[in-house]
Amino acid sequence: MKILVLAAHPDDEVLGVGGTIKKFTKNKDHVKIVIFATGILARRSSSYNNNTKYKIDEKTSTLTKKQITKLQKNAKDAAKILGVSDIEFLDLPDNEMDKLTNLEIVKEIEKIIEIFNPSIIFTHSNSDINIDHRILYNATITATRPTPNNKVAKIYAFETPSSTEWNFPNTFSPNYFVDISKELVSKITAMEKYVDEIREFPHPRSFETLEIIAKRWGTVCGFHAAEAFQLVRELKK
Ligand SMILES: [Zn+2]
């Protein structure tokens, strides 16, 4: 089986689907991860407060490129722990995917689907505070619209700790749960690779919180630890 994970930023794939990815790869399924934005906010000139136009000096540009390369290395290392070697980076502007048209993002997704031909897609939830997450959700729904040629049978939306839970009052309402009791350790170990993204408890991106979230969803569905998803669409032939 081919599973496609569409994540806006490096670390979203671990936070939202890490345990489930591991479960698929243990089962010898092919998981491909595509990360759309860089995960590094564009640094602007010091006059940014008065000037919204991009003006990045060479030194800052070099530093930004270094940070992006480091984050991509973290993402590859994390993916390896989850059993994934197929990871692609589109390098779109971070937290500014709204600078692109919906059509441009849809075309990217359509291209990936045509080549990879997944039967399941995981992407962000629409109940999310982050603009890139919502844009990716909308573009995914458009790119997979059920035409006669569509072969994507299932689309699931994942939560992203440190983003989804802050979208008051439109909360994430999952209806699909995956038992990750045996994969939680791999999820946490994969997250350890993102050294600059991890925070101290009680931040949602702390190791302790990730464990609490998995156990909390476990209490909802009778597993010791779980990842929760919204089934967005399922097509059964
Ligand atoms: Zn994100």
DSSP per-residue letters across 212-230: HHHHHHHHHHTSSSEEEEE
Distance 8 CA to ligand 1 centre (A): 5
3-state secondary structure of 105: helix
Domains of the chain by residue range:
2-234
For the CA atoms of 205, 76, 96, 139, what is the dihedral angle to 10 degrees? -100
Distance of CA 232 to the CA centre of its chain: 16
Distance 3 CA to ligand 1 centre (A): 19
Distance 220 CA to ligand 1 centre (A): 25
Q: Note the pLDDT tens digit of each residue in 120-164.
A: 999 999 999 999 999 999 999 999 999 988 889 999 999 999 999
Please identify every residue whose CB atom is under 5 Å from ligand 1, which is an ion. 8-9, 12
Q: Note the pLDDT tens digit of each residue in 65-86.
A: 899 999 999 999 999 999 999 9
Distance 9 CA to ligand 1 centre (A): 4
Which region among 35-39, 62-66, 107-111 has the lowest average model confidence (pLDDT)? 62-66
Q: Is the peptide bond before 202 cis (omega within 30 degrees of 0)?
A: yes
Residue 54 has pLDDT above 60, yes or no: no
Q: Note the pLDDT tens digit of each residue in 154-207.
A: 999 999 999 999 988 888 999 999 999 999 999 999 999 999 999 999 999 999
Distance 132 CA to ligand 1 centre (A): 7
**Superfamily for 2-234?**
LmbE-like (3.40.50.10320)
91 in Cβ contact with 38 (< 8 Å): yes
Q: Note the pLDDT tens digit of each residue in 214-223.
A: 999 999 999 9
What pLDDT does 56 receive? Answer: 65
Distance 164 CA to ligand 1 centre (A): 9
Region 91-110 average pLDDT:
92
**pLDDT category, 64, cuts 50, 70, 90?**
confident
What pLDDT does 46 receive? Answer: 46
What pLDDT does 43 receive? Answer: 52
Distance 197 CA to ligand 1 centre (A): 11
Residue 45 has pLDDT above 50, yes or no: no
What pLDDT does 9 receive? Answer: 95
Which region among 42-46, 105-109, 133-137, 182-186 has the lowest average model confidence (pLDDT)? 42-46
> For the chain, what's the residue count?
237
Amino acid making up residue 231: L
72 in Cβ contact with 194 (< 8 Å): no
Which region among 54-63, 95-104, 130-139, 218-227 has the lowest average model confidence (pLDDT)? 54-63
Q: Is the peptide bond before 148 cis (omega within 30 degrees of 0)?
A: no
